[in-house]
Amino acid sequence: MITSCPQRFARGVLLLAVTIAVLPVASASAQIAPCAEGGAPQSTCTFVDDVAPYDAFLELACTRNLMAGCGGAYACPGEAVLREDMAVHLERLYRGEGTAHVFTPADTCASKCTFADLTPSHCLAGWICQLYKDGITGGCPTGYCGAEAVKREQMAVFLSVVISWRLGETIPTSGLLCRAPGDCRSYACQSGGTSAFSDVTPNSVYCKFIHYIAFKGVTSGCGVWEFCPTIAIPREQMAVFLVASDNLISGTPVPSTNTCQ
């Protein structure tokens, strides 16, 4: 049973993403800051471990209060985004007001969901329960699995739900996806259909969500018509996804009701 935010030893596992080089390892002190997410906006968003070409996105995501650093002046690029931190990212994107995405769940929200591996005393329980109450997550088979890394296919679902709800759109199951003029592929996310990505099956439950965020320009995949669905998302890529999503939905009304109140 999780009762508090543990030291983030799990985040020390570096990811070698398909399209990026191996990234430098942040100092150990930067990797164990408990509950870096969910607090007040950081006073500075200049990180000593920024890495090109993601440095601008890491700093923008921090400035907009969509993603905090991992402790001190560190952004910890190369470390996996955890599901518990993702709850803060998504709720700030979904409900955050203004350019600083001001939003904090109600004090009572931490007790408004029941996951076997989560108690109200967990430092991000309020965010996780808000995400659940908003219908953006149903948890995992054994609870919420807050300490698990988020896969690219899972993030496609979460971002698609937030973006489509904010824009008032329905996520289509088929369409045309273009990477560049003259480089287009049709897709139909159904048994016997086709997928634009060679590593996404058309009957996958993630198919339409992956194609939706690609169509919206939130991601271009991980290679030439590949998406790398089962690779865990490193923090610098999550920053890109968040900034791109925020740019897309900027100016649309945020939900007016905090469902945990």
pLDDT digits over 148-187, tens only?
999 999 999 999 999 999 999 999 999 999 988 899 999 9
The total of other beta-carbon atoms located within 10 Å of residue 254's CB is 14
Q: Is residue 31 scored above 60 in pLDDT?
A: no
- Are 14 and 25 in contact, with CB atoms under 8 Å apart? yes
Q: What is the pTM of this model?
A: 0.86
What mean pLDDT do residues 230-250 have? 96
Instruction: Name 39's Cβ contacts closer than 8 Å, sequence gap at least 6.
Output: 68
The alpha helices in the chain, defined as continuous H runs, are 55-63, 83-95, 125-133, 152-167, 207-215, 235-249
- Among 5-19, 99-113, 148-162, the minimum mean pLDDT is found in 5-19
- The size of the chain, in residues, is 261
Paired tokens of 13? 């596992």
- Among 16-25, 147-156, 174-183, 212-221, the minimum mean pLDDT is found in 16-25
The band of 93, judged by pLDDT with boundaries at 50, 70 and 90, is: very high
H-run or E-run covering 188: strand 183-188
Q: Is residue 236 scored above 70 in pLDDT?
A: yes
Q: What is the pLDDT of residues 45-82, one digit of tens each?
A: 999 998 899 999 999 999 999 999 988 889 999 999 99
The alpha helices in 112-234, defined as continuous H runs, are 125-133, 152-167, 207-215
Q: Is residue 142 scored above 70 in pLDDT?
A: yes
pLDDT score, position 184: 96
